[in-house]
Every structure is written in structure tokens, then in C-alpha cells.
Amino acid sequence: VPALEIRDLRKTYATGVEALKGISLSVAPGDFYALLGPNGAGKSTLIGIVSSLANKSAGEVKVFGVDLHAQRSQAMRLIGLVPQEINFNMFETPFDILVNYAGFYGIPRAEAVVRANQELARAQLSEKAKTMSRTLSGGMKRRLMIARAMMTRPKLLILDEPTAGVDIEIRRGMWKTLKEVNAAGTTVILTTHYLEEAESLCRNLAIIDRGRIIEQGPMKALLAKL
């Protein structure tokens, strides 16, 4: 079964804006998939629906075959979300942020500690584990957001514009962490408006514009067309 299957997804806001006008796509397990498009294309709306933060107007979403509408909590257990804004407590250490997050999801403390150390290593944060998060660099904070989402061991990791507005050095550090996450078997989907980011990370992508998919397929095939 696909990691994510979306069929004819539509969203009309109360304002009358048709943000999604019939989106269909399928993401294979293990894929690294980009939703590429300009501001206002509908990317955040799509991510919001898939991560259950917002309601659709019509259509079907399945996560590893589990219907997001009919079996929401079961589907949500398969998903990890990295929101755009950094939203952890700056007065806790990375280690505590990760262990507390796992605790919130009912993961026993001993297991949470094992996972925290693994995720800190993958995010190149081991040396900062017990440092106040406030003092981390911008890139470190963003990698900590990825590490936190991975604490529940999601099968599908979703990131909404993870590198919007950050410089190339910070982006490269995040790319490294994301490549490792994907190499370990997690399906990754991200939204971006940087072609360069989609190019360096993704095997497959959809280009979305004004609520519609205008191109879809392997990154290599799309690059050949540009």
C-alpha cells in the first residue's frame, strides 16, 4: 500500500477561496517526496489536512491504507509532523524536550531515553543534549524540531517548508538529517518553494500551483523537461 494516497482532495475556505481544487497523488513507502510550489499554491492547506490540523471539503486521504477520516487516531499514529515555526520550550534542554515529548505519547521513559540519544545523534546535537535550547543556533533548533517529530517513530514524516527563510548552511545541515531519516526507512514528504531543495533531496515530486497539481513524477524526469 502507498504511504500516502490522496484522491480528489478539495478545500474551500469560509472566505470562498478554493485552496485545493482536486488534488490526487500517491507516495510510495520509503520515498522522499516534495510538494513544490509558490506561495499561495495550497501547500500548507494540503499539509494541514493530512496532519489532521484542518478539515477537508471533499476527497479521500489514506496513510498506509488507513483512512484519515474514518480512522483518524490510527492514521495519526503513523505520522510525524514538523511544523514551520519552532515551538519547543527554549528553557528546556534538547534531551528533556525529546524525552518529555515521548512521555506525552505514552512511551516508557527508558525507551524514550534510548530514542532521544539516537535522535540527538542523527540531528548532530549529541554535544548539546544538556544545554539550554535557547542557546542553540538556528540550524540546531530546526534539527531539534526534526528529532522531536521522530521520537514517536512515525512511518511518514511530514515537513511544512522546513527551511523557509534560512541560509544555505542551515539548509544543508537539515538536509543531512533528513537524508538519514529517509535512509533509515521513514517516508518523508516536504513542502518547499525552492527547486534546489527538492532537487537535492527528493526522488519524486508534485508541482502545485493555485490549488492544482500541474506536474507530477520522478525528479529526474521533471528536471529533464525544465
Interface residue list for ligand ADP (CB under 6 A): 13, 15, 17, 19, 37, 39-45
Closer Cβ to ligand ADP, 12 or 126, answer by number: 12
Instruction: Kindly state the smallest distance separating residue 124's Cβ from ligand ADP, in Å.
Output: 27
Residue with Cβ nearer ligand ADP (18 or 60): 18
CA 3 remoteness from chain centre: 13
CB nearer to ligand ADP: give 151 or 213.
213
Which grid coordinates are listed for 110?
Answer: 527508558
**How far is C-alpha 85 from the chain's CA centre?**
12
| Rounded alpha-carbon distances, angstroms, from residue 166 to 34, 94, 115 | 18, 21, 27
| Kind and range of the H or E run holding 146 | helix 138-150
Side chain identity, residue 80 = G
Cβ neighbors of 137 (< 8 A, separation 6 or more) are 170
Between 37 and 139, whose beta carbon lies closer to ligand ADP? 37
- The nearest distance, CB 157 to ligand ADP, in angstroms, is 18
Report the nearest approach of ligand ADP to the CB of residue 94 (Å).
25
In the complex, minimum distance from the CB of residue 38 to ligand ADP, in angstroms, rounded to a whole number: 7
